Chain A
Amino acid sequence: MNPVALARQALAYVMLLLVTFVICFPLLWALSTSFKLPQDVMASPPTLIPREVTIANYRNLITGKEQYFHGVGKGYVPSTAAPQHFTSWFTNSVVVSLGSTLISIVISTLAAYSITRFRYWGRRIIPYFSLLGYMIPSIILVFPMFLVMAEFRLTDSLWSLTFGYVSITLPFCMWLLWAFFRGIPIELEEAAMMDGASRLRVFVDIVLPSALPGIIAAAIFSLIVSWNDYLFARVFINSIEQLPLTVGVMHFFEGVHVDWGLMMASAVLMTLPMALLFMLMQKHLVAGFGAGAVKG
């Protein structure tokens, strides 16, 4: 490789590293802080690498042991409520995200298939309207929805969150899958029907596997939206034990006292599942799964 090309490549790598560092810095800082001793959190000058590593923050979060604010040494007596609920918040987030995603994916897959494969009035405009629904800011939807939930006595339950998230993820998932299903050649289904398969069997054997990258993409989108939501949980839920992570973590702020170590450990534990999921599913997201099915 000649020197100019080498220099260009080196420059490209330096730029990429720099951009990656800037993007990852908040996460790195959270990771670093989560392993620091309470007295090192606000140390000056700040250090990215902890001077002394402790896993106390994580241990206490998971076991729900009280450590809160003791380390600050200001004689503050912690409220007995807030931070002992980390594991139930985590479970709530998992249940609500998976639940709403499952509902969204099942409905949107069937809806998108129906819109692309059957002829009936309005099937052409439904996808555009669904996208329009997605464009309405959640803040406009959340209060009318709260009233509806109250009417059905669903407020302060995980059901309210599940339905709330379905209402924002379903239209987009449907639109995404509609676009995806349109790209699946109809001949594949016709070939299976000629082979003697029923419509349901064609859907299960042929359509679903072909649509898998689209379904995974829609599921990841739905999981991220419901996992990260703050607004719906803030409005719909009152009881501390029913909160999802996003709102629950807020309780680490106690007036002027903030336990940054716990806060950052929670942030890391909140980020981890989504990051892992994304890494595992990345290869499925790559489209072109259907390449080779039809003329090449």
Chain B
Amino acid sequence: MSIRLEHIHKSFGSVEVLKDISLEFPEREFITLVGPSGCGKTTLLRILAGLETASSGAIFHGEQKVSDLAPGKRDVAMVFQSYALYPHMDVFRNIAYGLKVRGTPKEETERRVREVARVLEIEHLLERKPKQLSGGQRQRVALGRAMVRKPWLFLMDEPLSNLDAKLRVTMRGELKRFHLRLETTTVYVTHDQLEAMTMSDKIAVMDKGEVQQYATPAEVYNRPANIFVAGFIGSPPMNFLSGAAISGGELNLDCGDAKRAAIAASPLAGNESREVVLGVRPQDIAVHMAAVPHTIAAEVSLVQLLGSEKLVDFNYGLREQVTAQVKADSLLEAGQKVWIGLDPAKLHVFDPASGRNLLLEN
């Protein structure tokens, strides 16, 4: 059964943190709520958990309204950012607590805890206290505590943010594998767009208490709904070039000194002339050593080696800046004069006033 959020509003005093959120989470999918700090994603998760009550709106699990139920009655499980393991209980009792509270018979509790521990490979840790565990092990125990109850919904609040970079990558893969195995609907909160992209079936990008876009990772990346989504998803972030305009069926760019360079055919239907904000990802910029049509003159200002790639900053026009990602063996150095071309198929054009992606409206 899918989960429906209908017109969820939440205010703390006069501060409105969630504004009319309506979403549907299909059964068995891995949904990520992603956005910057303070966008309301954790509040939305806590409302799903029942730890906060929405100012208005309702949550449905299938046809059943669950938003009036207390957290313990919803039968959902949550993995907290801080893990929140009970410090005075050993791992076994931590995992078993939810079953004990529900009055599950002792033998069954024992069997289920051992089964979960086996799946998570923490059988040898069952007698340890949380303080005797490493970060990754605590993470698994927290996961075990959520899994053992076989809930219909997993809620995860930035569960990887306290792990070091290497462990985070490992655990990311494991979480995804567990999800594929258990097939329990999961709502995952993160501020890390990479986690959102790699793990999710669907992503809800949030900002300022509103869902900016709710779509598959590929859709969010390739067809961002607006400037915010385009800038938030993707690493390194998308370049936004101001001073772009569409006229006479061409897209041209202000290159300073009243010169405008045509860089591509207009991606928009119709012949209307208008100012736009041009978005281009660093991967979609080509560097030429000589002038060719539809390129603009630029100067290399900074080169950063990432390993397999280089991140190169260029200045063009009147101190406008753009970043490109090129192969590591490209022979570019600061001060060098080059020409840069933007891949016409990968350009995004946004409305300067509203920030909307104009390509989606064609």
Could you list which residues of chain A lie within 8 angstroms of chain B, going by C-beta atoms?
185, 187-188, 190-198, 201, 205-206, 209-210, 212, 289-296
Our pick among B87, B133, B162 for the contact of A290 (Cβ within 8 Å) is B87
- Across the interface, name the chain B residue whose C-beta is closest to A190: B51
Q: Please state if B101 and A185 are interface contacts (CB–CB under 8 Å).
A: no
B51 CB contacts on chain A under 8 angstroms: 190, 193-194
Q: Give A220 to B188 CA distance when docked, in angstroms.
A: 46
Q: Please state if A291 and B131 are interface contacts (CB–CB under 8 Å).
A: yes
- Across the interface, name the chain B residue whose C-beta is closest to A290: B87
Q: Please state if A293 and B85 are interface contacts (CB–CB under 8 Å).
A: yes
Q: Please state if B84 and A195 are interface contacts (CB–CB under 8 Å).
A: no
Closest 10 A-B residue pairs measured CB to CB? Answer: A292-B131, A195-B98, A196-B72, A294-B82, A293-B87, A187-B84, A191-B84, A295-B162, A209-B88, A292-B130
Q: Please state if B87 and A195 are interface contacts (CB–CB under 8 Å).
A: no
Our pick among B72, B86, B145 for the contact of A193 (Cβ within 8 Å) is B72
Q: Please state if B87 and A295 are interface contacts (CB–CB under 8 Å).
A: no
Could you list which residues of chain B lie within 8 angstroms of chain A, going by C-beta atoms?
49-51, 70-73, 76-78, 80-88, 97-98, 101-102, 129-133, 135, 138, 145, 149, 162
B97 CB contacts on chain A under 8 angstroms: 192, 195, 197, 205
Give the total number of A-B pairs whose CB atoms are below 8 A apart: 94
Q: Give A212 to B88 CA distance when docked, in angstroms.
A: 10
Besides the known contacts A190-B80, A195-B149, A292-B87, 10 further A-B residue pairs in the complex with CB atoms under 8 A apart: A187-B82, A188-B87, A191-B86, A192-B101, A193-B71, A194-B77, A196-B72, A197-B97, A205-B86, A293-B86
A193 CB contacts on chain B under 8 angstroms: 51, 70-72
Given contacts A293-B130, A296-B131, contact A195 B145 (CB under 8 A): yes
Closest Cβ–Cβ distance, residue A206 to chain B (whole Å): 6
B81 CB contacts on chain A under 8 angstroms: 187, 295
Q: Give A194 to B148 CA distance when docked, in angstroms.
A: 13
Q: Please state if A195 and B101 are interface contacts (CB–CB under 8 Å).
A: yes
Q: Please state if A292 and B133 are interface contacts (CB–CB under 8 Å).
A: yes
A185 CB contacts on chain B under 8 angstroms: 82, 84
- Across the interface, name the chain A residue whose C-beta is closest to B149: A195
Given contacts A195-B145, A291-B87, contact A190 B131 (CB under 8 A): no
Given contacts A209-B88, A292-B129, A292-B133, contact A195 B72 (CB under 8 A): yes
Q: Please state if B72 and A198 are interface contacts (CB–CB under 8 Å).
A: yes
Q: Give A292 to B71 CA distance when docked, in angstroms.
A: 25
Q: Please state if A197 and B101 are interface contacts (CB–CB under 8 Å).
A: yes
B101 CB contacts on chain A under 8 angstroms: 192, 195-197, 201
- Across the interface, name the chain B residue whose C-beta is closest to A292: B131
Q: Please state if A194 and B76 are interface contacts (CB–CB under 8 Å).
A: yes
26 contacts between A and B (CB under 8 A): A187-B80, A190-B49, A190-B84, A191-B86, A192-B97, A194-B76, A194-B98, A195-B101, A195-B149, A196-B73, A196-B101, A196-B102, A209-B86, A210-B87, A289-B88, A292-B85, A292-B131, A293-B82, A293-B84, A293-B86, A293-B87, A293-B131, A294-B83, A295-B81, A295-B83, A296-B131
